[in-house]
Amino acid sequence: MASKESAGPYLPVFIEPPSPEGTIASEAPRPKGITVRELLVIHHTARFMRIHGDQTEIACRLNPAMEAYVPFLSPEHPYYAYYSYVKRYNLTLSKALDATPAYECLLPPGWKERDAQLSEQSPSEPGSVSMSLTSRSAGDTTRLQLPHDSSLAVAFSSQDSDDEGKMSNGGMVS
């Protein structure tokens, strides 16, 4: 039996009270010196974790191979506070990049509209976002293309045309 002077082996668990809907902290704890690539990775990861729930985040934290790709999932990382803010308040990537219009080209096609739909719903639970808003439809074949790099597009277009020629011969290679 623990005396009144010592806390004993069990400590009380303090649960953070939920914030009222629609209130956001005054300013995001955006770390200094963050690169655009890191910003994109943090926002994409936060969006993915918000859709798929906390169990996915725990699985990624426990996987040592993921540490190289998403080190900010660790609470000791300097970007963790920003990541948790983005995830908690559903801060979409287009909102973060609206202040810097030069980076708008980094968004894949259609993400601004999807982010607008996602922020309109603003679910109360992080894992309850409907998948139809964020998943790509079966016919959606748009890709993010960089204007200065057309070498891959040319290589893939010639490969596709070769495959079509093979298929027109009844699958036989001539």
State the Cα–Cα distance between residues 172 and 159, nearest whole angstrom.
Answer: 16
pLDDT at 47: 86
Higher pLDDT, 136 or 55: 55
Q: How confident is the model at residue 18 (pLDDT cuts 50, 70, 90)?
A: low
Nearest to 79 by CA among 46, 110, 119: 46
- Summarize pLDDT for 128-144 with one digit per residue, the tens: 433 333 344 444 444 44
Higher pLDDT, 85 or 2: 85
pLDDT at 154: 47
pLDDT at 91: 76
> What pTM was estimated for this model as a whole?
0.46
